[in-house]
């Protein structure tokens, strides 16, 4: 069994490595031609529709994890960007990673990646403006941001290579962790067990997976290879998707950081909203 787990790990890791390096370089190269300054202006503009589109695009092209999103949120709030637009970015940024979504398309299918992107984007918009409508803007603390600099990204092959190496140092280890966990599940956990308890159309698995995902703090880069194995072993896709979104969209470290800029009322609403987003995404995948 140990030998088989090791072989599975090597196989998964090699596939991920080739895909990750190629995709990371290509995405980093493309990011060099994106007009970040214009996006910032659109975020701060009076046109709500344009601001929302800018928030989604900004979330998509900035590969932030849930924790590294916080300084950007503070910066946007200090610039008096509309609260609803800021909330859209807060919910969308951790789950819309261009590199990982491309990797998702390669491993789980283009349809899955497209539906995932559309569902998370739409739900981020709905939740963001719902929180604004309910008056949660009053639950934002006054915070002064120091030491944060917006950097201009220029088109450069050398710069793309440097960015790829940087991603290898920060994101790649999580991919390997996911590959390791996936290899163990593939080799040690009986397919019958997963099919019996985690397969089928058991709707209640979706909210349970969403709730479990919050404290796990599994990055999206770790969940991609892990979800591939779980689905291959017979786990239903909707709870896998709910687990993926919940563990990526919120985490205990992020909640702790949000306490410094949001009042408890808004922090609680954030956690509930992420669980809602993850659950609704899972249920929608049942329909699809």
The residue whose two tokens read 């590969």 is: 63
Residue 167 has pLDDT above 50, yes or no: yes
> Tell me, what's the pLDDT at 250?
77
> Tell me, what's the pLDDT at 224?
74
Mean pLDDT of 32-56: 69
Mean pLDDT of 114-129: 92
End-to-end, the C-alpha distance of the chain in Å comes to: 36
Q: How far is it, in rounded angstroms, from Cα 31 to Cα 153?
A: 7
Nearest to 66 by CA among 275, 241, 258, 265: 258
> Tell me, what's the pLDDT at 121?
93
Spatial contact of 87 and 128, defined as CB atoms under 8 Å apart: yes
Read off the pLDDT of residues 176-215 as tens digits, 9 standing for 90 and up. 776 677 677 666 665 565 666 667 778 888 898 888 877 6
Which are the contacts of 241, defined by CB distance < 8 A and separation ≥ 6? 116, 227, 278, 281, 282, 285
Spatial contact of 94 and 64, defined as CB atoms under 8 Å apart: yes
* Coarse DSSP helix, strand, coil percentages of the chain, rounded to the nearest 5 percent: 75, 0, 25
Q: What is the mean pLDDT of the chain?
A: 76
Tell me how long the chain is: 288
User: Three-state secondary structure along 248-260?
Assistant: HHCCHHHHHHHCC
126 pLDDT tier (thresholds 50, 70, 90): very high
> Tell me, what's the pLDDT at 23?
63
CB neighbour class for 130 (10 Å; exposed up to 12, middle 13-18, buried from 19): middle
């Amino acid at each position: 069994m140990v030998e088989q787990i090791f072989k599975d790990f090597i196989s998964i890791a090699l596939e991920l490595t080739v895909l990750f390096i190629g995709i990371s370089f290509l995405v980093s190269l493309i990011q060099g031609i994106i007009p970040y300054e214009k996006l910032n202006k659109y975020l701060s503009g009076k046109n709500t529709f344009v601001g929302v589109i800018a928030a989604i695009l900004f979330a998509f092209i900035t590969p932030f994890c849930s924790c590294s999103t916080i300084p950007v949120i503070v910066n946007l709030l200090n610039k008096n960007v509309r609260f609803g637009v800021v909330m859209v970015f807060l919910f969308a940024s951790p789950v819309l990673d261009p590199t990982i979504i491309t990797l998702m398309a390669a491993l789980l299918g283009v349809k899955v990646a497209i539906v995932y992107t559309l569902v998370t984007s739409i739900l981020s918009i709905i939740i963001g403006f719902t929180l604004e409508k309910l008056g949660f803007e009053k639950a934002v603390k006054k915070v002064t941001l120091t030491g944060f600099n917006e950097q201009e990204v220029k088109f450069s092959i050398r710069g793309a290579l440097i960015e790829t190496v940087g991603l290898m140092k920060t994101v790649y280890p999580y991919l390997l962790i996911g590959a390791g966990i996936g290899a163990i599940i593939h080799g040690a956990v009986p397919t019958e067990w997963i099919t019996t308890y985690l397969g089928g159309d058991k709707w209640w698995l979706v909210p349970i997976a969403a709730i479990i995902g919050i404290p796990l703090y599994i990055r999206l880069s770790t969940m991609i290879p892990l979800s591939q194995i779980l689905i291959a072993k017979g786990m239903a896709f909707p709870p896998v998707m709910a687990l993926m979104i919940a563990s990526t969209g919120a985490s205990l470290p992020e909640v702790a950081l949000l306490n410094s800029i949001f009042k408890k009322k808004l922090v609680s609403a954030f956690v509930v909203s992420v669980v809602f987003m993850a659950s609704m995404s899972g249920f929608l995948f049942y329909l699809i």
